[in-house]
């Protein structure tokens, strides 16, 4: 009887911890998306120039490293907003490129935004409702993202439009899988730090949006 009571207590404790991480993650994710969107809008209004691939990657990895390093302290929260704000700043010039230079640029941006929202909400809901464990996707996603990242750099450096299109399609699939994996990790106790869970989900949304934006622009003959 005592062992049964202990098991019930442990199960209840894990459920409470999971619900807390899930609630904090989605709350922080909503705040960071709003903040990142506001920074992107400000960047568009100020017509800020694109930083370039090297400064963007340096800023991305440096802030990501610092966020992970301080994920268990109050500094982690500040760094999350610094990271998402920086990403929003890099997004502004990209959005201006579409809005100001394409005939249906604003419509393309809104379609990409709507598609991102539908995919994220749909996959998150699926993982939450079914409670399936998608932990087996971790290794495949890591390798896939690494390959797509290298291929994306090659497409950019050597100006290969077909490869760039393929990379965007790959990222849509990979980010969809990452949403399932990260949500599943929270549910099943594989991720107990809501700051890192937020960062992962933010990155999936950012990459999903920019990849859909690229694909829609291409298929719209733009």
pLDDT 10s digit of each residue in the chain, 222 long?
A: 545 344 434 444 566 777 888 899 999 999 999 999 999 999 999 999 988 888 999 999 999 999 999 999 989 999 999 999 999 999 999 999 988 877 788 899 999 999 999 999 999 999 999 999 998 998 999 999 999 999 988 888 888 888 889 999 999 999 999 999 999 999 988 888 999 999 999 999 999 999 999 998 877 654
Sign of CA dihedral 9, 11, 17, 20: negative
Per-residue tokens: 131: 């409670």
Report the alpha-carbon distance of residue 98 to residue 112 in Å, rounded: 12
pLDDT at 221: 57
From the list 195, 196, 146, 202, the residue with the least C-alpha distance to 179 is 202
Report the alpha-carbon distance of residue 199 to residue 170 in Å, rounded: 20
pLDDT at 111: 93
Q: Tokens 């807390």: give the residue.
A: 20
Per-residue tokens: 115: 């598609």
pLDDT at 134: 92
Report the alpha-carbon distance of residue 108 to residue 89 in Å, rounded: 20
pLDDT at 7: 40
pTM of the model: 0.89
- b/e map 72-90, b = 16+ CB within 10 Å: eeeebbebbbbbbbbbbbb
pLDDT at 43: 95
């Amino acid at each position: 009887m005592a062992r049964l009571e202990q098991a019930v207590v442990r199960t209840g404790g894990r459920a409470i911890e999971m619900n807390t991480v899930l609630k904090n993650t989605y709350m922080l994710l909503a705040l960071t998306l709003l903040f990142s969107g506001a920074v992107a809008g400000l960047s568009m209004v100020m017509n800020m120039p694109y930083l370039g691939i090297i400064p963007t990657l340096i800023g991305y990895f440096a802030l990501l490293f610092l966020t992970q390093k301080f994920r268990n302290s109050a500094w982690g929260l500040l760094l999350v907003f610094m990271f998402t704000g920086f990403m929003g700043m890099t997004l502004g010039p990209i959005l201006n490129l579409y809005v100001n230079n394409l005939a249906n640029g604003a419509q393309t941006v809104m379609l990409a935004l709507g598609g991102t929202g539908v995919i994220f909400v749909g996959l998150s809901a699926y993982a939450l409702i079914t409670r399936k464990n998608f932990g087996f996707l971790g290794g495949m996603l890591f390798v896939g993202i690494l390959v797509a990242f290298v291929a994306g750099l090659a497409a950019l450096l050597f100006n290969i439009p077909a490869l760039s299109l393929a990379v965007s399609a790959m990222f849509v699939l990979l980010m969809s899988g990452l949403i399932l994996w990260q949500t599943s990790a929270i549910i099943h106790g594989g991720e107990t730090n809501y700051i890192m869970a937020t960062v992962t989900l933010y990155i999936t949304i950012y990459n999903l949006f920019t990849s859909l934006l690229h694909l829609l622009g291409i298929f719209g003959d733009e």
